[in-house]
Amino acid sequence: MLIETLGSARDLGRAQEIAAVFVRHGLGDLVRRLGLADALEKAGHALRIEHAADLARIEPPVQLRRALEELGPTFVKLGQILAGRADLFGPDWIAEFNRLHSRVPAVPMEALRPQLREDLGGEPEDVFARFDTEPLAAASIAQVHRAQLKDGTEVVVKVRRPGIQDVIAADLRLLERLAASVEQDWPALRPYRPRALVREFARSLRRELDLAAECRHAERIAANLAALDDVVIPRVHWQHTGERVNVQDFVQGVPGEDLERIRREGFDAPLLARRGARAVLKMIVEDGFFHADPHPGNVFYLPGNRIAIIDFGMVGQLSRRRREELLALLLGLVEKRPQAVADVLIDWAGDHHHGTDLGALEDEIEAFVDQYHGTPLAQLHLGQMLADVTTILREHKLALPGDLALLIKAFISLEGMGRALDPGFHMATEAQPLLRAAVRARYQPQALAARGWEALREGAGTLAQLPHDLSRLVRKARHGRVQVAVELADLRRAGDQIDRAASRLALALVTAALIVGSSIVMTVGGGPTLLGLPAFGLLGFVGAVFGGVVLARSVWRGKHHQNDDE
């Protein structure tokens, strides 16, 4: 299959280059097993695969890392994403993936100028009051120059490397084909969903290529974090921003990597760690739209212990359902409830657990969580626990859904950053109140009690969720471990509120019936009259008015009650 697609593809040249790099780094076997060697040979591009003796001594993870580095941005990014997949790779591979760095030599100004001129609508020196031709930083996708706007604002101009899009597009096409052929020819790898993995990765990388999208992400996150006044996100200057270049405020702060200066300039490092963690946790659990790369290179510290966050090229997104599952998982870890953790993980493994012994998996997860029994919150390493839990998945040949890989990566890098600032930093301690609040907000039954129609609509929502919840319940029942935790206080409150809602609904129904009934009686005529109107009809209306007043009062009181609660 790979043979035909490659033969007809325009990407043959690049395929050969990739194969050659792999071979050069001692990964000829891999090239052969992927069918790449055959495909190229059929297309008339023979590969010489020979074993250099000195290469045999290098560990395969190191060989792969070097090959990825040489292959450029697509493969470096792929490796960086795979670093978050403890569910797919062992620790020696993950360690090498983490070693991939994306700093590369800068594109010289002459090579950059034509594209920049086109995008800015003039020479950079004319568009800006000042433009530094020497870049501040150069990475695989873009490089960053300092400049000053005509109004005096200090900015940075991020420019996409010319021609990078074509290379990445070709690489992604090849990777997609490779994944498809792997999925077809290697049934053993199917549970790891290589095609889905590459699809997810391609989407994220294509998004990262669009420098305007990066600014849209920045603004969205800035809006979500507006209430946190100790977090700063640079302003975007849209008049100069497009797909290949963006302009944002220059952040004049202490770089996150410069721990020495942070200490010297009297920053409150533990406070910084706490504030950073709170911001990222809020993005993840509350907003479901988060910075996927919160490492020290993307952070600056400002006077007043404020934190500036930059670089929104890679963002993660979590659906509401995922967020709720994640909440359950994290709370399960923090509060050491193994069953909760197992439930979520088995859900995540989805329909791909054929042949997996779920009972054994649950036992192992329980044992894992139980080993932390009695460990104080402050000693739980949440990021590491998440990674360990995914390792358990790997050992059972289960894969995580792709959208969670970014999340776990973000978590681990956040915890690392916090701990570098403050050895006493504990993610679990920071996370618990936030997680609790999020769960509480979710189960607040206020909406149910106060407003009749809204309750009905919400009811419909619950109903839609019911099949999912039921299937979970049934699955648990099958394993013979349905666990029921009853919290009486909450139950009584919820019960009261439902009770109140039901009485109101009944009252509303009776009132409505009275109005309708009375109207009919009014039109029939005959019988006793009062003030010239049929007496029973009139009585009915009086009753309806009374019912209406009682209803209105009860709703109004209910509202006040709630406000007092808050």
Instruction: List residues with catalytic annotation.
Output: 293
Specify the stretch interacting with Mg ion by CB under 5 A; choose among 76-84, 201-209, 307-315, 439-447. Answer: 307-315
To the nearest whole angstrom, how small is the minimum distance from the Cβ of residue 251 to ligand ADP? 4
Find the residue with minimal CB distance to ligand ADP: 139
Three-class SS state of 303? coil
Comparing CB distances to ligand ADP, the nearer of 186 and 250 is: 250
To the nearest whole angstrom, how small is the minimum distance from the Cβ of residue 448 to Mg ion? 45
Exposed/middle/buried for 463, CB within 10 Å: 0-12, 13-18, 19+? exposed
DSSP bridge pairs for 255: 300
Comparing CB distances to ligand ADP, the nearer of 315 and 328 is: 315
CB atoms within 10 A of CB 289: 16
Pairing mode of beta strands 289-291, 315-317: antiparallel
Closest CA to 128 of 224, 239, 203, 260: 239
Q: Which two tokens stand for residue 429?
A: 């301690």
To the nearest whole angstrom, how small is the minimum distance from the Cβ of residue 154 to Mg ion? 19
Binding flags for Mg ion, 122-161, as an x/- string (CB under 5 A): ----------------------------------------
Q: Is 214 in the site for Mg ion (CB under 5 A)?
A: no
| Residue 251, binding choice from Mg ion, ligand ADP, none, Cβ under 5 to 8 Å by partner class | ligand ADP
Q: What's the gap between Cα 80 and its chain centre? A: 16
Q: Is 298 in the site for Mg ion (CB under 5 A)?
A: yes
Exposed/middle/buried for 488, CB within 10 Å: 0-12, 13-18, 19+? exposed
Residues that bind ligand ADP (CB under 6 A): 136-137, 139, 142, 144, 156, 158, 234, 248-251, 297-298, 310-311, 313
| Residue 250, binding choice from Mg ion, ligand ADP, none, Cβ under 5 to 8 Å by partner class | ligand ADP
Q: Is the distance from CB of 305 to CB of 267 less than 8 angstroms?
A: yes
To the nearest whole angstrom, how small is the minimum distance from the Cβ of residue 495 to ligand ADP? 53
Comparing CB distances to Mg ion, the nearer of 236 and 392 is: 236
To the nearest whole angstrom, how small is the minimum distance from the Cβ of residue 208 to ligand ADP? 8
To the nearest whole angstrom, how small is the minimum distance from the Cβ of residue 142 to ligand ADP? 6
| Residue 100, binding choice from Mg ion, ligand ADP, none, Cβ under 5 to 8 Å by partner class | none
**What whole-number distance in Å separates Cα of residue 211 and Cα of residue 308?**
19
Closest CA to 183 of 83, 36, 34, 64: 34
DSSP bridge pairs for 529: 534
Comparing CB distances to ligand ADP, the nearer of 37 and 144 is: 144
The secondary structure of residue 315, as a DSSP letter, is E
Q: Is the distance from CB of 106 to CB of 135 less than 8 angstroms?
A: yes
Q: Is 241 in the site for Mg ion (CB under 5 A)?
A: no
Closest CA to 293 of 405, 136, 430: 405
Alpha helices in 49-142 (DSSP H): 60-71, 73-82, 91-98, 109-120, 124-127
Comparing CB distances to ligand ADP, the nearer of 244 and 426 is: 244
Comparing CB distances to ligand ADP, the nearer of 142 and 262 is: 142
Three-class SS state of 545? helix
Q: Is 311 in the site for Mg ion (CB under 5 A)?
A: yes
Binding flags for Mg ion, 85-124, as an x/- string (CB under 5 A): ----------------------------------------
To the nearest whole angstrom, how small is the minimum distance from the Cβ of residue 484 to Mg ion? 48
| Residue 313, binding choice from ligand ADP, Mg ion, none, Cβ under 5 to 8 Å by partner class | ligand ADP
Alpha helices in 295-445 (DSSP H): 320-334, 338-349, 358-370, 382-395, 403-421, 427-443
Comparing CB distances to ligand ADP, the nearer of 15 and 141 is: 141
Q: Where does this chain bind Mg ion (CB under 5 A)?
A: 297-298, 311
